[in-house]
Amino acid sequence: MSVTYHIKIKKQYAASLIEDLQKMDAVELIKETTDEIVPDWHVTEVRQRIEKYKDNPGLLIDEDEVFKMLDAD
C-alpha cells in the first residue's frame, strides 16, 4: 500500500535534503496546484452553502448536535 504525503518546504536546507533523497530514488516529487487538491466544483459548492447559511442562519446545526447525531449510530 502506498501512502502520499504533502509537504511544504520552508527552509533551504530541507529543499537540499529532498533533492538528495530524490537522487537516491527514495522519494518521488509530485507537483500539483491547489486546483488539483480542491476541485473547482467543491469550492463553488462551499461558497454557495456559505451564502445560503448567511441568508438563513436558522438552518445551521450546533456542533454539539452534530456530535450527538454522529454518536447515535
Q: Please state the length of the chain.
A: 73
In whole angstroms, what is the distance from residue 48 CA to residue 42 CA? 10
Domain total in the chain:
1
Cβ-based neighbours of 15, under 8 Å, separated by 6 or more:
9
Q: Is residue 6 part of a domain?
A: no
CB 58 within 8 Å of CB 64: no
Single pTM value for the model: 0.42
Q: Is residue 7 part of a domain?
A: no
Cβ-based neighbours of 52, under 8 Å, separated by 6 or more:
59
Q: Is residue 4 part of a domain?
A: no
Confidence of residue 6 (pLDDT cuts 50, 70, 90): confident
Q: Is residue 31 part of a domain?
A: yes
- Residue range(s) defining the domain that contains residue 29: 12-71
The per-residue pLDDT for 35 is 59
Q: Which of 32, 24, 43 is nearest to 7 (CA)?
A: 32
